[in-house]
Amino acid sequence: MKAENKPSADQKYSQTLKLMGNSFTITVVCPDKGQADAHIDLAVGEIRRIENLLSTFRQDSQTSLINDNAGIKPVRVDLEVFNLIERSVGISRITQGAFDITYGGIDKSLWNFDKTMTRLPDAWTALKMVHLIDYRNIILDRENTTVFLKEKGMRIGFGGIGKGYAAEMAKQILIKNGVQSGIINASGDLSAWGLQPGGGKWTIGVASPDAPNAAFSYMEISNKAVATSGNYEKFVIIDGKKYSHTIDPKTGLPISGIKSVTIIAPNAEFADAMATPIAVMGIKAGLFLIDQIPDLYCIIIDDSNKIYTSKNINLK
């Protein structure tokens, strides 16, 4: 048999697209480009489907319907949306409200994080706004798959979990279709499975907060997800001090003291959802919580570039 008739070895194929307001890079390991393109199209279709369900920018999305009926009536949703909200509430419980999808009410009105912002809102105004943030006021009825926001003016948003959920679902659809290895990277929240064409694990760089395009450390992962929340993504500088776009739901004010939190978890949804609340909880409480949860790991960098890690983590 002639050598050229042998099937070509697997290669990596990648595409980067703007989805859910973020840059998504989808990488699959395939024998040829045609197959890779077909698989990547499947993943993109799945991410777009989720965007349509969860988007607060679309008036007809299920999220918008829930928000429009806050304080009025329960809204029937797809089981998928119901389950995601239920898992979000579960994460609010374990983080004691540091993660809360009902943050939607303060999103634009209090914080815009653009160059027009020259001072912080005063603590009283911020507190007045955050009274609507309370995951305990999400009333879930599993029998009828309805969601009801108890207070008028309450809004939910999936900014803290949606990207990770989409990455995870895109990965699942690719695995179902026979893609044995790849990476879905949603602006730094990524899920990797299988091995590289050479047989090695995927090497993931942990972004340096002072130079986000450079990595300060590398990890080898397979069948794991990594998410990073950092104050270098969106921030404002007021009177020479940098304020992160991460808001403490209890005070309505931005957190300070932590430059970035990187979470390693079994799936991208959980990794994405845990990155921000750990920053809100602070180093000691955050690491304590991470160490209680099996198969969850964390790297925190504080304002003085000191690195803290949870148990059983080895940085290279």
Q: Could you tell me the residue range of the domain that residue 66 belongs to? A: 62-149
Q: How confident is the model over 16-47, as pLDDT tens digits?
A: 999 998 999 999 999 999 999 999 999 999 99
Contact 27, 10 (CB under 8 A): no
| The pLDDT of residue 112 | 52
| The pLDDT of residue 247 | 79
d(CA 157, CA 115): 24
Residues 47, 66 within the same domain: no
Residues 230, 263 within the same domain: yes
Residues 50, 192 within the same domain: yes
- Answer with the one of 149, 174, 202 that is the final residue of a domain: 149
Residues 143, 221 within the same domain: no
| The pLDDT of residue 7 | 46
Residues 220, 142 within the same domain: no
**Number of domain units in the chain:** 2
| The pLDDT of residue 309 | 93
CATH of the domain at 50: 3.10.520.10
Has residue 42 been placed in a domain?
yes
Give pLDDT < 70 ranges for the chain: 1-8, 105-118, 212, 231-235, 242-244, 314-316
Contact 88, 101 (CB under 8 A): yes
Q: What burial class does residue 15 get, using C-beta atoms within 10 Å of its C-beta: 0-12 exposed, 13-18 middle, 19+ buried?
A: middle
Residues 70, 211 within the same domain: no
- Give how far the C-alpha of residue 89 lies from the chain's centroid of Cα atoms, to the nearest Å: 15
Q: Which residues contact 32 (CB under 8 A, 6 or more apart)?
A: 8
Q: How confident is the model over 237-275, as pLDDT tens digits?
A: 777 776 667 778 888 778 888 889 999 999 999 999 999
Q: Which residues contact 23 (CB under 8 A, 6 or more apart)?
A: 16, 17, 187
